[in-house]
Amino acid sequence: MRRALILVSLAALAFGALPASAGPNREPGEPAGPAQFRMFGAGFGHGLGLSQWGAYGLARQGWGPSKILKHFYSGTRVDREGSPPKNLRIGLAQGKRSIRLEAEAGAVEIRLGDPTTGSKIATIPSGETWEVRAAGNEYLIMDGAGATVDSVGGPTEQIFVVYESLASRVRIPEAAHTYNRGSIEFDMYSCDGGGCVMRLVLTVDPQHYLYGLGEVPSSWPVSALKTQAIAARTYAFTKAASSQHRAVCDCALYASSYDQVYAGWDKEGGVDGDRWVAAVNQTDGQVVLNGGTTIQAFYMSSSGGYTENNENVWGGTPIDYLRGVCDPGDYTSANPNATWIETFSPGEITQDLGLSIGTVTGFTNVDRGVSGRILSVTVEGANGQASISGGALRSKLGLPDDRLWINVNRHVTGAIRAKYDGLGCSPGLPTSRQVAVAGGDRQKFQGGTIYHSGTSGAHYVRGPVLARYFDEGGPAGHLGFPTSDVHRLTNGNLRATFETGVITCEPDGSSCQVG
């Protein structure tokens, strides 16, 4: 969570276009405004693996779930898991001294020792709210009037909340949701001098776990819902195979964005919940495999147009299926984080970064990953400088993502963005903002320039053809706007057509002809 083939145009393959580097890209510096710092960013999340908004956009373009998943997880396949876990342990809450239980749609039972065979301690009538407290080394159960019902169990003997077999539900304010699947275990731990605290662990069938997963709106396209279901199932199975009893939560997965957001009945019984449940059922057992093993199916809300290599996100050894790839579905009007701008005063940014270098005056030495995300940056201050990671910059400033440019607008939007995505991002990272030229617009990239006009459309010009086009005055010159991308002729020469002419060049640029 938080859980492929790079689409490259034939022209880019033919001419060796300059894609975003597989390693960091060093920039000499990005200027700071005298009165404010503006962060021009795109995306939301860590940038690794599947982009949820990317899946949404690709689903609307007609992509199926298998194609989407294999795009974002390089070299994988979608198949059925041969030996899935029987149940999953989900950490709903930790470190609590008091937990309320609200019985809904029927009575809820509290049992000691086992949810099925354990002795029944109490029954919470429908509509009532009871409380369980950690009282010394026992569970103190109190009814809706505050009267003690029983004191039972302890660190070595759990109590369980039972509701599914009774066709009822339980709402737990301390976990923020209502639950209708599985059973919930109360567990005491950290029994120091201040007394024990409690955690809640849901034990649930994997398919029923997915019914309550609140990661994407249930109204999304069916293909996007199926994509999310398969990715989430894969993520859960991989976590469970590692351990069902992690420290602190005693679970396989936290019910939060730390792993995957589990909302229980609030998701399953919510608006369009039946559409989500149908997507889960229609992909029953399907997972993403690398070889014969389920992958670490990380995903995030929005890639901003390009995902990142795993070693550039959390370090470690490169993983072959977690390579940065172009995300041609992310730029959709429905995505609130396709592009964004955040503004800070020098005082605000100095306080938020807390680097003890005096008032922040600028940023230099920006290293970027394959996606354009900042890997590291030098922060210049009145009294010194400090280097921080892009992740730290994002966290300290509360930014949606670290795919950003400081005080320089590099957003790729509109018709130029559509062309860029259609090229599989092969022009590389943007090196200029979009600017108006001769009745149209253009934007520069590492590998060339995309020009757009209302009459000729958007076209990518690069290499020696681009250099000669500059010499001829560009779109304001006698050739006008391009009407084709650069393409290779049968004799190996490169050619692009324009509104009033053609440029043909030797592959090495030693000679170009304008006609």
Mean pLDDT across 377-382: 97
Tokens of 141: 């159960």
Distance CA 314, CA 45 (A): 13
Q: Between these two residues, 124 and 30, which has the higher pLDDT value?
A: 124
User: H/E element holding 151?
Assistant: strand 148-152
Mean pLDDT across 279-287: 98
pLDDT at 195 over 60: yes
Q: CA angle 494-498-499, nearest 5°?
A: 165
Helix/strand/coil for 324: coil
Predicted pLDDT at 6: 28
Under 8 Å between Cβ of 286 and 233: yes
Helix/strand/coil for 489: coil
Distance CA 242, CA 85 (A): 11
- Band the pLDDT of 234: cuts 50, 70, 90: very high
Predicted pLDDT at 23: 39
Burial 139-167 (b: 16+ CB within 10 A, else e): bbbbeeeeeebeebbbeeebbbbbbbebe
pLDDT per residue over 64-90, tens digit each?
Answer: 999 999 999 999 999 998 899 999 999
pLDDT at 11 over 50: no
pLDDT per residue over 351-376, tens digit each?
Answer: 999 999 999 999 999 999 999 999 99
Predicted pLDDT at 194: 77
Alpha helices in 16-64 (DSSP H): 52-60
Q: Do β-strands 88-96 and 360-368 pair in parallel, antiparallel, or remain unpaired?
A: unpaired
Under 8 Å between Cβ of 515 and 497: no
Mean pLDDT across 485-512: 98
Distance CA 292, CA 456 (A): 49
Following DSSP, what letter does each residue of 179-234 receive, concatenated? E-SSEEEEEEEEEETTEEEEEEEEEE-HHHHHHTB-SS-TTS-HHHHHHHHHHHHH
Predicted pLDDT at 30: 46
Q: CA angle 58-62-66, nearest 5°?
A: 70
Q: How far from 392 is each of 66, 136, 322, CA to CA, in Å? A: 34, 41, 22
Q: What is the dihedral of CA 204, 208, 214, 216, to 10 degrees?
A: 140
7-11, 25-29, 474-478, range with the lowest pLDDT: 7-11
Mean pLDDT across 168-197: 95
Following DSSP, what letter does each residue of 263-304 receive, concatenated? -BHHHHTSTTHHHHHHHHHHTTTEEEEETTEE----EESB-T
Mean pLDDT across 304-316: 97
State which amino acid sits at residue 258.
Y
Tokens of 187: 């567990």
Q: What is the dihedral of CA 330, 332, 333, 337, to 10 degrees?
A: 0
Q: What is the SS3 string spanning 203-218?
A: EECHHHHHHCECCCCC
CA 81 to chain centroid, in Å, comes to 24
Tokens of 366: 């920006």
- Band the pLDDT of 26: cuts 50, 70, 90: very low
Predicted pLDDT at 184: 99
Residues listed for the chain: 515
Predicted pLDDT at 384: 96
Mean pLDDT across 24-49: 75
Predicted pLDDT at 476: 97
Full-prediction pTM beyond 0.85? yes
pLDDT at 505 over 50: yes
| Residue 174, Cβ density class (10 Å: 0-12 exposed, 13-18 middle, ≥19 buried) | middle
Predicted pLDDT at 77: 98
**Mean of the per-residue pLDDT values for the chain?**
93
Owner of token pair 């731990």: 189
Owner of token pair 């505050």: 146
- Band the pLDDT of 34: cuts 50, 70, 90: low
> Smallest Cα–Cα separation from 3: which of 361, 404, 290, 368?
290
Q: Between these two residues, 81 and 350, which has the higher pLDDT value?
A: 350
Predicted pLDDT at 63: 99
Predicted pLDDT at 17: 34
pLDDT at 7 over 60: no
Edge-to-edge strand ranges of the sheet holding 108-112: 119-124, 108-112, 159-162, 183-192, 195-204, 88-96, 253-254
R_g of the chain computed on alpha carbons = 28
User: H/E element holding 436?
Assistant: strand 435-437
CA 13 to chain centroid, in Å, comes to 29
> Smallest Cα–Cα separation from 393: which of 442, 360, 424?
360
- Band the pLDDT of 438: cuts 50, 70, 90: very high
Each domain of the chain, given as residue ranges in start order, spans 10-56+333-406, 88-282, 431-514
